[in-house]
Amino acid sequence: MDEETFVFNVVWTGSVFTYLRSFVASQMHYCGARYRFVANGCPAEQIGLMEQFRAKHPDRVVEVLETSGTMVPHGFALDAVLEQRDDGPFFCMVDADILALGPFLSSFAQALEHAAAITSGRGIWHDDDVIPPGHPGVAGEYFYSQDGFLFGSPHFAMYRREALDATMRRWGVSFAEAGKGMSDEARARLAQAGHDYFIYDTGKLVNIFLQENGYSVAHEEHENLMHIGGLSHYLSPTGFVTNDGEVEPDWSRWRGMASRFEVARFTAAVVRDLSEGRVPPRVPDGLSADMTRRLERVHDALVATIPKFVEPLGEVAT
């Protein structure tokens, strides 16, 4: 299958394009797909930078589409693209904080010859993507149930558009649906299938109901895709204020999130320095052997990759 058949939708929030454009440039370098930049609550200067990037790659970036002037949940932005655009037989999405280290698209394209959807993108901060027993919701990082049912990933996903549209119509679900807006019929079907949770992250209900509709959904982790996870919160912070007055989320106090906190915070510091021509920090001392291994892998990949793909774009806001 010709790779340019696929159009990956990248949802950008806040001012992260300044730093994460090199990640998406690495993806473009190692695949033949085209891209759409979806601006979700991005300031005007960031949209201007996206347009400059598109002007340099007119055959690869099909458009910059502003779906919302204020930041909305990721799923709402994807639903807006579905409603406004038709890219042919497939609908694809990829997170901006996934770094490509080599060719990656062919195996996913092959999977779509037999499946209605294929997902990927486990964050490098953890290895376990099975939802814990008794967990109230299907968070983004949980791809499987305890019995092996596939909820899929919201970080990298490719769908057959016909199956996606049919499933959304049949069950009244969408990428933005988190569980409260479902019909009684859909909720009863979830309970019958054993997938009744309090809340669902982006696309989880779509993936469940694709399978309830008789379609197959597949998942594959690819060695040439490195998903960091959570970088936007550190490169364009919007919420938490630390004791020293710095706006920065601290996930370390949440169950199971300490490793995500360490990886995202360290990666953001490395990305900033590499993007602005400075020597990046080394992995700090005093961490566990496991975390040191993860951060060294991230550090080495970023140092080898980002300088090759950072393109000067006008007046870059920092």
End-to-end CA separation in angstroms for the chain: 40
The closest alpha carbon to 92, from 62, 72, 136, belongs to 62
pLDDT digits (tens, 9 = 90+) for 220-243: 999 999 999 888 878 875 544 444
Contact 209, 223 (CB under 8 A): no
Model confidence band, residue 246 (pLDDT cutoffs 50, 70, 90): very low
Which has the higher per-residue pLDDT, 250 or 99? 99
Alpha-carbon gap, residue 96 to 74, rounded angstroms:
12
- Joined together, the tokens standing for residue 105 give 């698209």
What is the value of pTM for the model shown? 0.92
Map tokens 């988190």 to a residue.
178
Map tokens 């901060």 to a residue.
125
pLDDT at position 315 over 80:
no
Residue 281 is classified by DSSP as: P
Residue 252 is classified by DSSP as: G
Map tokens 């058949």 to a residue.
5
pLDDT digits (tens, 9 = 90+) for 128-159: 899 998 888 898 889 999 999 999 999 999 99
pLDDT at 240: 42
Residue 162: Cβ within 10 Å count: 13
pLDDT at position 206 over 50:
yes
Map tokens 């949770």 to a residue.
197
pLDDT at 239: 43
DSSP letters spanning 188-250: HHHHHHT---SEE-TTHHHHHHHHHTT--EEE---TTEEE--STHHHHS--S-B-TTS-B---
| Chain center to CA of 89 | 21
Say whether 88 sits in a helix, a strand or coil: coil
Averaged pLDDT, 117-132: 94
How much of the chain, in percent, has pLDDT values that exceed 90?
A: 74
Residue 276: Cβ within 10 Å count: 12
Beta strand segments in the chain, E: 7-13, 34-40, 61-68, 90-94, 98-100, 117-120, 137-138, 156-160, 199-200, 217-219, 225-227
Map tokens 């806001």 to a residue.
317
Residue 94 is classified by DSSP as: E
CA atoms within 13 A on the CB side of 150: 18
Dihedral angle sign, alpha carbons of residues 241, 243, 244, 248: negative
Contacts with 263 (C-beta within 8 Å, 6 or more apart), sequence order:
123, 124, 125, 228, 229, 230, 291, 294, 295, 298
Contact 227, 123 (CB under 8 A): yes
pLDDT digits (tens, 9 = 90+) for 36-92: 999 999 999 999 999 999 999 999 999 999 998 888 889 999 999 999 999 999 999
Which has the higher per-residue pLDDT, 230 or 280? 280
- Joined together, the tokens standing for residue 55 give 């002007």
pLDDT at 164: 98
In the chain, the domains with their CATH numbers are 3-219 (3.90.550.10), 234-309 (no CATH)
Averaged pLDDT, 174-185: 91
